[in-house]
Amino acid sequence: MPKILSVGTSIPKYPIQQDTVVEFAKELFEDSFKDINRLLTIFQNGQIEKRHFTRDVEWFKDPHTLEEKNDIYIKEAVAYGVEAINACLHNSATLPQPVPYNEVEAIFYISTTGMSTPSIEARIMNVLPFSPYTKRIPIWGLGCAGGAAGLSRAYEYCLAFPKAKVLVLSVELCSLTFQKNDRSKSNLVGTSLFADGIACVLMAGDEVNLENDATYPKVLGSQSTLMENSEDVMGWQVKNEGLYVVFSRDIPVIITNWLAPNVSRFLDHHLVELEDLDHFILHPGGKKVLDAYKDCLGIKADKLKTSIQVLKEYGNMSSATVLYVLKGVMETKPKKGDKGIVAALGPGFSSEMLLLEWG
């Protein structure tokens, strides 16, 4: 079965403490909400201590056009994408030797926070010495589910081409979608959660021999699920000024009611019980989302410690977040035979899942 060999990340250069964002949000929203002090408790209660952005906090105090923000997205996505790819292909912790760029057969590019034609992976191929025959598969619009979806599509590619090495590159610069003049509660919640993150994963088909004894997670299967008539749960409204966040307050309730049977169907198909899982690589959309995972799946907090830690240190980086969690779990050196589930939820409303086994 296809296996995950390496994960590399790139950390945007402006770390911002959550207390600083609280001060910024109070100044921005206090004229719009009489109960602003009560609403600001979502920042302290969200288990996020720090996030990283491509610009410092002062930049967000001024309005910026869609053109300006998207130009920044293109420039920074290329720069940070190059860093993440290099970290992934030169990851001495999991690779016996660096993987040459020209051995990468395909690049799956995942993003929902900016637009570019030609797409970002094409621009990166003009910076790094990939083969000009590398296949490009840009995927846009899957939001927080995109990282897991990218892994699923890469898995399917490697099933079809077992000698292939492929990359999944996720670049989410959520901060560049911030709308200073949007005084909605959705924007306030988004301001408390979202951050910038970049991650790259190397996956290989079953016939790729690395000539080492390392234990890698193999992908046993995947599942994509769409909830009917749920477009208003999560996503973007596209307006003249740019992208406005759609973020339903019912997301934790939807997860609690919908995710468990979804997971059960997936595991039943592979004859695996929930109790058989050693690792839960779940996208930490926020504290309430993590609580919903615990409630609906009946798992203890220690099973989510890597997801909790990623949320604490980086916030919600949309599609890249679950790849940060994957990196953290892989660094714990799971034992041969350990099983895990990767899951992320996104616009649609939808879910993406993969079943892993180390071996």
Greater model confidence, 308 or 301 = 308
Which of the two residues, 285 and 80, has the higher pLDDT score? 80
pLDDT 10s digits, 159-173: 999 999 999 999 999
Give the model's pLDDT for residue 267: 95
Q: Are residues 241 and 340 in the same domain?
A: yes
Radius of gyration of the chain (CA): 20
Residue 222: what pLDDT? 97
CB of 172 closer than 8 Å to CB of 145: no
Same-domain pairing of 121 and 147: yes
Q: Is residue 210 part of a domain?
A: no
Order the strands of the 165-173 sheet from edge to edge. Answer: 135-140, 106-111, 165-173, 196-204, 3-10, 217-226, 350-358, 339-346, 279-282
309 falls in which pLDDT band (50, 70, 90)? very high
Q: pLDDT tens digits, residue range 27-77?
A: 878 777 877 888 888 887 888 999 999 999 999 989 899 999 999 999 999
Does 141 share its domain with 231? no
The answer to whether the beta carbons of residues 321 and 143 sit under 8 Å apart is no
Domains identified in the chain, total number: 2
Structural domain that includes position 258: 217-358
Q: Both 47 and 111 in a single domain? A: yes
Do 174 and 284 lie in a common domain? no
Evaluate whether residue 60 is within a structural domain: yes
57 and 87 housed in the same domain: yes
Domain endpoint, select from 204, 231, 263:
204
* Residue 230 and residue 332 in one domain: yes
Q: What is the pLDDT of residues 267-301, one digit of tens each?
A: 999 999 999 999 999 999 888 889 888 988 889 88
Measured CA to CA, the distance from residue 162 to residue 308 in angstroms comes to 34
| Least reliable range by pLDDT among 79-93, 229-243, 319-333 | 229-243
Q: What pLDDT, on a 0 to 100 scale, did the predictor assign at position 25?
A: 86
In-domain check, residue 209: no
Please report whether residue 211 resides in a domain: no
Residue among 88, 144, 158, 174 flagged as catalytic: 144
Instruction: Judge if 116 and 221 occupy the same domain.
Output: no
Indicate whether 52 and 138 sit together in one domain. Answer: yes
**Residue 104 located in a structural domain:** yes
**Catalytic site residue 200?**
no
User: What CATH number does residue 174 fall under?
Assistant: 3.40.47.10
What token pair was written down for 43?
Answer: 């920042």
pTM exceeds 0.75: yes
Q: Which of 173, 204, 235 is the last residue of a domain?
A: 204
- On whether residue 345 sits in a domain, the answer given is yes
How high does pLDDT run on average in the chain? 92
